[in-house]
Chain A
Amino acid sequence: MTRLPVPDRTRALARRRHPVARVLGLLGLVLAWEGVTRTGWVPPLFLPSPLGVLAAGAEMLTTGELAVHIATSLRRIVLGFGLGALGGVSVGLAVGVFSLAEAIGNPLIAATFPIPKIALLPLLILWLGIGEASKVAVIMLGVFFPMAINTYTGVRHADPLLIRAAVSFGAGRWSVIRKVMLPSALPMIFAGLKLGAGTSLLLLVAAEMIAANSGIGFLILNAQNLMETTKLMVGIVLLSLLGLASHWLLVRLERAALPWRAEA
């Protein structure tokens, strides 16, 4: 019996991880950046060196300046994100499950969702003042909509077969919602959370750039006003780290909440 070599023609489509390339790409960027600043072609005023940014960050950390900004921003994000997510999931569930809520909520969401939330900031400041409330509120609104829409979509796409099976096994309404609809909506809810996390960072910075005294957005704007480019970069790096951290946290949470989705 002869063995025919069968070339695997799907190999080109395989998604390998390339762990070395991942690190090299990032490292290369930082090295090139440091190199450019070392040559002196670009004055440090316009592009500070990565080492300079690191040093400035360390100094701000020891003086306690950084801690204040991070704490303020985190509080705003956690409050805004938490309230927005909670509201979004509740409304999304209600609209997805009850036909009356759907009839009322759907057009309302469709009409208000497309408004860029930054545009509401001046109005929110007028209503709630320039303090914490308006900043938290704008983040809350930004997170609410993707959460509500995703939860709604997730609930509506719950497998009707599963729902019927549950009902025929004697499950009540709450049981169906809790044991079938909510779990099958979870992947969509987590997609919404990830979307919302990005949006909340964006809105945080925007809100803190208007009449704030602390926070990462204030740090960036203030550094720009004082032309302290190195501090400005510290703020940007901080935002990037915050984004990474929230993503990592959400991925962890998703794995814990959705053990049946091993690949997630």
Chain B
Amino acid sequence: MRRVVTAAVLAALVCLATGPGAAQPVQKLKLGVLKLTSSAVLFLGVERGYFKEFGIDPELVYFQAAQPIAVALASGDIEVGATGLTAGLYNIVTGGVRIWIVADKGREWPDYNLSALVVRTDLYDAGVRTLRDLKGKKIGVTQIGSTFHYNVGRYLEKEGMALRDVELVPLQALPALNDALTARRVDAVATAEPFVSRLESSGAGRVIVNTGDTFPWQIATVMYSDKFARDRARAVAFMRGYVKASRAYYDAVLAQKSGPAHDEVVRLTARYTGAAPELIRRGLPYQDRDGRLMSGDVGRQMAWWHEHGLVKARLAEKDIVDESFLREALKNAGR
């Protein structure tokens, strides 16, 4: 009797383990993201099961800054990363470990808020309204070599100034930037949504430069580890899910400024990031509907970093950018 029961229990367990979908196995992978508004498209893809439709089950792994995601891609701890492009990423690839930039995940674009330069309210009220007024002041960034470092450098050059005209203070994490500005330990911070909106709504800071309006660039991308890129079938399958998510995102929040679909994206992004929905609504970034990269921008970034001595050598774009997964995924993706 006892033996029969044991056998039955075992059989039940086996059934549970394999499940009904055993015929078409769903493959798990780790997807590194930041808890930022700009990760909305990935939250949408995971939430609506777009990746699962193509047999991929991404597990979201949260990071504090973009650079650790690049390191995790290099070491193989995660298969896919979706975050900003840093000097450290380019140095990893120059150092001989491959990482592939495969699709758009957010651009600085006119009339869209993503990253910005926020100055302390008391300084703003005292007349600090342009970069010229920030000469010699302390500007908080996450890390040296981060997208924010790049932003500040580009803002300054646009004004005919240079990085040596200000003092960059690396504070390591985005929440630390908000704390430092609120505690008046720095004069301005270069940060991203929803932190920008948080600072404005708390009254601690005022935006003086919106990056997208100043100079559009390819700030964030989807990246593959080399091992995952070699697993062609899965890499393309992930991209099919991503294209679906990207189009749904574009149609819901970029093509229209309100509506039930818009609200749904805002709501779920708020849930994933822990920020208030009204803050999320103000900072949904622009990206290409089909996930295509801004042509030539990765090369421009590498040239800038190299010129400033933060990237050791210049790479050809083909050694770090690979849009073939995207092209293949787009082939029979309809419109």
Contact = CB atoms under 8 A, between A and B. Distances in A.
Contacts of B117: none
B170 A222 contact: yes
Nearest to B91: A227
A227 B92 contact: yes
Interface string B101-115: 000000000000000
Contacts of A43: 95-97
Most chain B CB within 10 A, of A126, A209, A226, is at A226
Nearest to B168: A213
B185 interface: yes
Nearest to A129: B185
B168 to A, nearest CB: 8
Contacts of A225: 67, 86, 88, 143-146, 170
Most chain B CB within 10 A, of A130, A211, A227, is at A227
A58 B89 CA distance: 25
A222 B95 CA distance: 16
Contacts of A46: 75
Contacts of B145: 222, 225-226
B41 interface: no
Contacts of A222: 144-145, 170
Given A45-B74, A45-B95, A226 B88 contact: yes
Contacts of A106: none
A213 B167 contact: yes
Interface string B179-198: 01001011000000000000
Interface in A36-92: 43-46
Contact of B310 (A211, A226, A229): A226
A254 to B, nearest CB: 39
A65 to B, nearest CB: 10
B169 A126 contact: no
A229 B95 contact: yes
A34 interface: no
A44 B74 CA distance: 12
A228 B312 contact: yes
Interface in B302-335: 310, 312
B87 interface: yes
Contact of B169 (A209, A213, A226, A229): A213
Contacts of A44: 95-96
B88 A126 contact: no
Contacts of B183: 126
A210 interface: yes
B70 interface: yes
B128 interface: no
Contacts of B144: 222, 225-226
Contact of A227 (B95, B146, B169, B171): B95
B172 interface: yes
Most chain A CB within 10 A, of B86, B146, B168, B170, is at B170
A41 to B, nearest CB: 13
How big is the A interface, by class? 10 to 19
A210 B88 contact: no
A229 B310 CA distance: 13
Interface string A23-43: 000000000000000000001
Contacts of B97: 43, 45
A45 B95 CA distance: 5
Interface string A201-231: 0000000011101000000011001111100
A221 B170 CA distance: 10
B275 interface: no
A229 B75 CA distance: 14
A219 to B, nearest CB: 11
A192 to B, nearest CB: 33
A211 B169 contact: yes
Interface string B147-184: 00000000000000000000111111000000010010
A252 to B, nearest CB: 38
A211 B96 contact: no
B134 interface: no
A210 B96 CA distance: 30
Given A43-B95, A226-B91, A229-B95, A210 B185 contact: no
B71 interface: yes
B76 to A, nearest CB: 11
A257 to B, nearest CB: 42
A68 to B, nearest CB: 14
Contacts of B75: 46
Interface in A107-161: 125-126, 129-130
A145 to B, nearest CB: 27
A227 B70 contact: yes
A96 to B, nearest CB: 40
Interface of B: 67, 70-71, 74-75, 86-89, 91-92, 95-97, 143-146, 167-172, 180, 183, 185-186, 310, 312
26 contacts: A43-B96, A44-B96, A45-B74, A45-B92, A125-B185, A129-B185, A130-B186, A210-B171, A211-B170, A211-B180, A211-B185, A213-B167, A213-B168, A222-B170, A225-B67, A225-B143, A225-B144, A225-B145, A226-B88, A226-B91, A227-B70, A227-B74, A227-B89, A227-B91, A227-B92, A228-B91
